[in-house]
Amino acid sequence: MKAILLRAGFTGASIVLMSTAYASGYKVNEQSASGVGTAYAGRAAVADDASVVFYNPAAMSKLKRSELSFGATYIDVEGSFEGTRTNPAGVPDAAEGNAYDDGGDFVPNATIPFVYYVHPVDDKVAFGFGIFAPFGTHTDYSSNALVGGFADETELTTIDFQPTFSYRVSDTLAIGGGIDIMYAHGLLSKQLDLVPYVPGHPQLGNTDYQGYENKFEVEGNDLGYGWNLGLIWDVTAHTTLGFTYRSEVDLELEGDSKFIQSSGVVAYTDPDGESGPYPAGIYPVDGATGQVDSQASRVPLTTPRSATLSLAHQATDNLQLQAGATWTDWSVFKYFDIVATKPGLIDDLSGLGENYIGHIVEKWHDTLSWAVGASYRIDERWLLRGGYAYDEAPVSDDHRTARVPDTDRQWLTAGARYDLNNDISFDLGVAYLLIDDSELNEYDYDLNDQVSGVENAQGTYALDALGISLQMNYRM
């Protein structure tokens, strides 16, 4: 009995991966306000401002003056879950009274900043630098959530520092590239039901065992490196093609795994009939200290590579049509593991073996997103934008998790630019996302990808998202 409880307690823990509902997977799309307005359609083929540092470094060749662009996107996401839970002893949540809830609005609102600078050296060479967030997420369920045994709080923060260059090969063709220096920090926590409530059991029938008793948390950070390349080609005087490739970035989020002990759980009636605290060195706590020491661990994570193809066509003097598609190599993310790097108690408790503290099966697949948009200049000061995008999720129905209840979504966007004068302009972008409901049926898995234990969470997710982005551009 005790071995089953220990194994169910930790198997499947992961640190960072749950969609924020604003972009598929754990990608962040909010790198500019000017891009939001057209749903990011054609971004690798246009040079509206210094945000080309991210979208296509080759497009820096089209900027004639040094330029600084900066701003932020505010994201308002509402998420809800309706479902059921089965505890590690196979008891449904209905038998545990009011021990659990639906988790609340589990996606916190967020503000994502960005800043870019481009400096043309001459008519052929330009340099640029950008600071932005390419990946990230933050979700936080209530402490008694039905899905708490699989996900409590999940946070990923990345900051990318990108120096870039561009070179104009001819009047119609330019190339560019950059280096990605990416800092990443991740946090995961999950609730533990180590002494599951069993109605009618002489010891486990105690109502004190309803709900969760303890908590697991892992936190780590790393610095990784990648690269990107771009090409922009003026096919005709009115039509431009752009292409951008971004490499993967390999990360090892190193930090500590922690067992957070709840009060009153040090001493309890053992399922075998013995009472009192366990002796030192025996789970759930060290009887001498009442605590479990933290354990050094690592969390491997590879961010996906991607390729974007964009088209921009100047249909009239005032109207530009834009389109584009992005392939993302999400299939690189098949498993997510937490591995102990030093001896300790926590990895012994997981029951996984081979120094594994957590193992979650993802088996994501590659995705293709596409977008269409248009920009229309009303007069010398005002430019209006609109767009539509379809964003495919990398998550399969068989392996959707409470950390990543991702699903396909559609973008409806609008935006505007106001040119204050020849040096200063402002961009506004608004996006509303139509997100499909998604189904969850999650279990723990062993290292052979077989279901381990009977703990389960299943139900339906519903998500809505609205984003507002502001940006200022200063030409020098």
Look at the chain and report how many structural domains it folds into: 1
For the segment 127-152, the average pLDDT, to the nearest whole number, is: 94
Q: Where are the beta strands (DSSP E) in 20-121?
A: 67-86, 110-120
On whether residue 287 sits in a domain, the answer given is: no
Q: Is 209 helix (H, G, I), strand (E, B) or coil?
A: helix
DSSP secondary structure of 301-359: EEEPPEEEEEEEEE-SSSEEEEEEEEEE-GGG-SEEEEEESS--SHHHHHS--TTEEEE
Among candidate residues 188, 192, 217, the one with its CA nearest the CA of residue 14: 188
Q: State mean pLDDT over 358-363.
A: 87
Using 50, 70 and 90 to split pLDDT, how confident is the model at 33?
very high
- Classify residue 281: in a domain, yes or no: no
User: With 60 as the cut, is the pLDDT of residue 270 above it?
Assistant: no
**Mean pLDDT, rounded, for 71-79:** 94
Please give the pLDDT value at position 352. 86
pTM of the model: 0.89
- 54: which 2 tokens? 């991210």
Residue 291 has a pLDDT of 66
State yes or no: pLDDT of 96 exceeds 70: yes
pLDDT of res. 16: 36
In this predicted model, what pLDDT tens digit does every residue of 37-56 receive, in sequence order? 999 999 999 999 999 999 99
pLDDT recorded at residue 284: 53
Classify each residue of 240-259 as buried b or exposed e, where b means 16 or more C-beta atoms within 10 Å of its C-beta. bbbbbebbbbebbbebbbbb
- CA distances to 100, 104, 152 from 96, rounded to whole Å, are 8, 19, 19
Q: How far is CA 186 from CA 110, 219, 250, 393, 415, in A?
A: 16, 6, 14, 22, 33
Residue 381: Cβ within 10 Å count:
12
Average pLDDT, the chain: 88
Tokens of 412: 């409806």
**pLDDT score at 290:** 55
Helix (H, G, I), strand (E, B) or coil at 216: strand
Q: Is residue 6's pLDDT more than 80?
A: no
Domain with 180 in it: 2-254+301-475
> According to the model, what pLDDT value does residue 53 have?
98
pLDDT number for residue 411: 97
Per-residue model confidence (pLDDT) at position 278? 39
Closest CA to 114 of 54, 197, 64: 54
Please report, as a single letter, which amino acid is at residue 391. Answer: D
In a domain, 324, yes or no: yes
- CATH number for the domain spanning 93: value is 2.40.160.60
Residue in the structure block whose two tokens are 């409880």? 5
Q: Please check whether residue 288 lies inside any domain of the structure.
A: no
Question: Is residue 327 situated within a structural domain?
Answer: yes
Give bridge partners of residue 237 from the DSSP assignment: none
Q: What is the pLDDT of residue 125?
A: 98
The answer as to whether 282 is a domain residue is no
Residue 351 or 418, more confident:
418
Q: Which residues, 6+ apart, have CB-to-CB distance to 436 below 8 Å?
A: 407, 408, 409
pLDDT score of 289 more than 60: no
Upper half-sphere CA count for residue 17 (Cβ side, 13 Å): 31
The tens digit of pLDDT for each residue in 186-243 reads 998 899 887 789 998 887 888 878 888 888 899 999 999 999 999 999 999 999 999 9
**Is the residue at 149 inside a domain?**
yes
* Per-residue pLDDT at 285: 56
- In this prediction, residues 312-331 reach a mean pLDDT of 98
Answer yes or no: is pLDDT of 296 > 80: yes
Range of lowest pLDDT (49-53, 269-273, 310-314, 400-404): 269-273
The pLDDT assigned to 201 comes to: 87
427-468 pLDDT, tens digit per residue, is 999 999 999 999 999 999 999 999 999 999 999 999 999 999
With a CB cutoff of 8 Å and minimum separation 6, the contacts of 326 are: 306, 307, 308, 309, 368, 369, 370
Q: Which residues contact 380 (CB under 8 A, 6 or more apart)?
A: 419
| Cα–Cα dist 126/63, whole Å | 9
> pLDDT grade, residue 171 (50/70/90)?
very high
Contacts of 106 (CB under 8 A, 6+ apart): 79, 81, 139, 140, 141, 142, 145
Q: How many CB atoms lie within 10 A of CB 183?
A: 14
Measured between alpha carbons, how far is 443 from 68 in angstroms, rounded to an integer?
A: 49
Exposure letters 21-54 (e unless 16+ CB within 10 A, then b): bbbbbbbbbbbbbbbbbbbbbbbbbbbbbbbbbb
**103 domain-assigned:** yes
Residues belonging to the chain: 476
